[in-house]
Amino acid sequence: MTTAAAQAAVAENPWLNAQRQFDNAAEILNLSPGLRAVLREVRRELVVRFPVKLDNGGLRVFEGYRVQHNLTRGPAKGGLRFHPETNVDEVKALAMWMTWKCALAGLPYGGAKGGVAVDPATLSHRELERLTRRFASEISVLVGPDSDIPAPDVNTSAEIMAWIMDTISMEAGYSIPAVVTGKPLDIGGSEGRPSATGRGVTIVALEACRRAEMDPASTRVAVQGFGNVGSVSAQLMHDAGFVVCAVSDVHGGIYSPGGIDIPELMEHRRTTGGIADFPGTRFVSNSELLQLPVDLLVPAALENQITARNAGHIHARLVIEGANGPTTPDADVILEQRGITVVPDILANAGGVTVSYFEWVQDLQSFFWEEGEINRRLERIMQKAFTQMCQQADSHGVSLRLGAYLVAVKRVADATAVRGIYP
C-alpha cells in the first residue's frame, strides 16, 4: 500500500473518525483524562464465527459482531446490519455514535451495534433465516429487553427482527417482544416505525431551513440512497414542498433539475424493481449526485461518502446526514471553511431509534399508541434536540456537529460521574 493510500485508509476508518469526533468535544468540555479513557473506548465487543447449512447441503462459516459502547444511561440500543464490508471497526464506530445519538435525543439508552459480514442477496430466503437465527443465538449472551435491544439497519428488515425475537423467545421458553424493535405490528411492532428515520430527517431538514432562512419551495434536494431512509425522506420532503431533483440507489441515480414526482417514482420502482429509466430524468452516478447544483444534500447510504477528496466540490448549502458517518472529519473541516452547514447524523437520523424507544416502551407496557401520537412525540423530541444542539454550537462558536456532541457527551459524562466507578 502506498503512503497516500495508507493515509486515506486511516482518514476513512470509521472507528478512528468516531474517536476523533469525541476527542474534539471532550477537549471543549475539559473532561478528565480518566473519563476520556472510559468514553473513547467500547465496553464490550463480541466476535462470533458460526456455521450455516446451505440449501445445497454444504456449510459456510460467517463472522458476526455485537459491540456495546456504553451502558451508563440504560440498556444498549442499536441496529444489526448484514453487509459484506461489515467489520469490527465499523461496528465499534456505529456503537459509539448510537451512544451519542440516544443521549442527544434524551433517550434512556446506551449505544450498541452489530452485524454479519454477508451479502444477503447471495442467500436464499431459507438460508437467510437460518443465518439470522444462528446469529441471534450466538449473541443471545448479550441481548435482552433490559440489557441490549437490536433493531433493523442496512439490509435487515422487520421480518429479520421477527426471526430474532422468535429465536430468543424459543430459547427462553416464553415470548419476549421487547428484545428487538422494528418488528412487524403483529408481534408488538409500533405504528410509525418503518418511516421514522426518514420522518426524522425531514423534521430536521425543515428546522435547518428555518434556521438558514431557506424556503422549502425553492430548495432543491438530492438524496443519496433510496432505501428505507432515503426513499421515505424523499417522499416526505416532497410532501413538505421541497424540490427533490435527484435520488440514487446502489446502481446509480437519476436527476431532473426541475424536480422529480416522488410518488410516481415510487410507483415506477414498485413496477420495475428500480429507479433507472424514470421518464424525464438522466442518469448520474452516486459520486456525481453528491456534487450536483442543489441546495440541500441528504447522504442516506453508507459512511465515508463525503471525504477530503470531494468536499471541495459539494454545492449544497445544507447537508442533512441521513446515514451514519457519511462525512469524514477531514471533510467536515473543508465544508465548514466553505460555509456549508452539516446537520450531524446523531441528530438527523435519530428518528429511528426514537420510535424504537416508543416501541420498546409499548412492548413493556403491553399498551400501544396510535401513529398520530407517535409522530407528534417524535417531532417534539427532534425539535427539542435540534434547539439544544444549536444553542451549544452558537454558545461555543462551533459547528452543529460539535454542538450536538457537546450536548450528548456531557450527558453521558455527567451520568458516569453520578454513578461512579464500580467497585
- Within 13 Å, how many C-alpha atoms sit on residue 420's CB side? 2
Q: Which of 216, 219, 208, 159 is nearest to 183 (CA)?
A: 159
DSSP letter (8 states) at residue 45: E
Q: Which of 377, 402, 372 is nearest to 389 (CA)?
A: 402
Give the cell for residue 301: 447510504
Active site annotation includes 113: yes
Q: Which of 403, 376, 368, 402 is nearest to 389 (CA)?
A: 403
Q: Give one word for 394, left, alpha or beta, with left for phi > 0 and alpha for psi -120 to 50.
A: alpha
Bridge partner residues of 110 (DSSP) = 76
Are the beta carbons of 67 and 140 closer than 8 angstroms?
no
Residues 6 or more apart from 303 whose CB is under 8 A from it?
14, 90, 93, 323, 324, 325, 326
Give backbone dihedrals phi and psi of 224, rounded to 5 degrees, phi first: -90, 120
What is the total residue count of the chain?
Answer: 423
Residues 6 or more apart from 322 whose CB is under 8 A from it?
197, 198, 201, 223, 225, 229, 230, 233, 298, 299, 300, 345, 348, 349
- Catalytic: which of 92, 101, 113, 183? 113
Active-site positions read: 113
